[in-house]
Amino acid sequence: MEYRRLGKSGLHLSALSFGSWVTFGNQVDEKAAAEMMTVAYDAGVNFFDNAEVYADGQSEVLMGKALKKLEWSRDSYCVSSKVFWGGEKPTQVGLSRKHVVDACHAALKRLQIEYLDLFYCHRPDIHTPIEETVFTMNDLIRQGKILYWGTSEWSAQQITEAHQVAREYRLIGPTMEQPEYNLFKRDKIESEYLPLYDNYGLGTTIWSPLASGVLTGKYSGGIPADSRFSVKGYEWLKDRYETEDGKQRLEKANQFVKLAKNLNMSAAQLGIAWCVKNPRVSTVILGASRKEQLVENLAAIECVKKLNEAVMREIDAVFQNAPKPAPDFR
């Protein structure tokens, strides 16, 4: 495993990490969760990603039970949660002091841990002053309940504002951002955030490296019954590939599978290795619904060295003019 600094912070995260969106609590039960986390940890993964909204809290409950059972030394791994969508009531959503504090406490309880290593604002909240959120995150750090805080899918402008507030009041600003990054979605990491790496030492923990599995080529012959596109409640993901643009993206994925084959690796491995290759990426968060996928995907770290300039050019050529997916995941 390779370890990278999370931006300019002193925290070293594994270049590949493991997340639980869609899977834990929907496709993966407690036993399988513990098994997959063990596979990841044994391969050197030291960061496990979660959020209050995943399976309405059940994803954190499962991860908490697994952590308890596995009894790893608490200083050997990092766990995250994210705050934004905590329920239907007005006090249960967004980034107000009230919800951020409540969400932090609830996540700690579900995960059965004493502090969160990383805590994210899952989306920007235009109804809460940025000062309120930055002060609250700073307080949670001072109280020892979280160690680093960050954002997810914020614009460069919003992240900059958070840093300006932090500087003005001598508070701790956001350390990391969690954007989508894969061969269909490159804009934020490769262009919009460019000034933030130097100005603020931004770290990035990127999500959906395989575009929800599309880049494996698994959807080229239809939708397998045991795949993410068949999971109840996630029909909107499938819908995005039934449009003309979506069909073109599936075709790009087919070409990508052939390219990967020529390189003697799977498309999943090539898609993940391509994300790791970018030094702006601190960690690539993997998703897997079963152990075999995770084993295959973790081996992507060995494939990075095969991605020379010629290969990178070939990959770019495949995805040139690929239609961009819709801007958000929900």
**What pairs with residue 16 in β-bridges?**
284
Comparing CB distances to ligand NDP, the nearer of 168 and 242 is 242
Is residue 13 packed enough to be buried (19+ CB in 10 Å), middle (13-18) or exposed (0-12)? buried
User: Does the footprint of ligand NDP cover residue 152 (CB under 6 A)?
Assistant: yes
User: Does the footprint of ligand NDP cover residue 293 (CB under 6 A)?
Assistant: yes
In the numeric block, the tokens 């996928």 are attached to: 293
Stretch that binds ligand NDP, among 104-112, 157-165, 167-175, 282-290 (CB under 6 A): 282-290
* Residue among 209, 241, 249, 301 that touches ligand NDP (CB under 6 A): 209
User: Does the footprint of ligand NDP cover residue 285 (CB under 6 A)?
Assistant: yes
CB 94 within 8 A of CB 127: yes
User: Does the footprint of ligand NDP cover residue 241 (CB under 6 A)?
Assistant: no
Stretch that binds ligand NDP, among 22-30, 137-145, 237-245, 252-260 (CB under 6 A): 22-30
Is residue 221 packed enough to be buried (19+ CB in 10 Å), middle (13-18) or exposed (0-12)? exposed
User: Does the footprint of ligand NDP cover residue 207 (CB under 6 A)?
Assistant: yes
User: Does the footprint of ligand NDP cover residue 136 (CB under 6 A)?
Assistant: no
* Residue among 185, 228, 249, 252 that touches ligand NDP (CB under 6 A): 228
Enter the tokens of residue 166: 């932090």
User: Does the footprint of ligand NDP cover residue 212 (CB under 6 A)?
Assistant: yes
Size of the site for ligand NDP (CB under 6 A): 31
Shortest distance in whole angstroms from residue 286 CB to ligand NDP: 6
Q: How far apart are CA 162 and CA 150, in angstroms?
A: 10
Q: How far apart are CA 275 and CA 304, in angstroms?
A: 9
φ, ψ of residue 300 to 5 degrees: the values are -60, -25
* Residue among 7, 19, 174, 246 that touches ligand NDP (CB under 6 A): 19
* Residue among 32, 297, 298, 301 that touches ligand NDP (CB under 6 A): 297
DSSP string computed for 217-262: TTTTTS--TTSGGGSTT-HHHHHTTSSHHHHHHHHHHHHHHHHHHH
CB 103 within 8 A of CB 74: no
54 catalytic per annotation: yes
Kindly list the residues in this chain that would bind ligand NDP in the complex (CB under 6 A).
19-23, 27, 49, 152-153, 178, 207-213, 216, 218, 227-228, 268, 285-289, 293, 296-297, 329
Q: Which residues are tagged catalytic?
A: 54
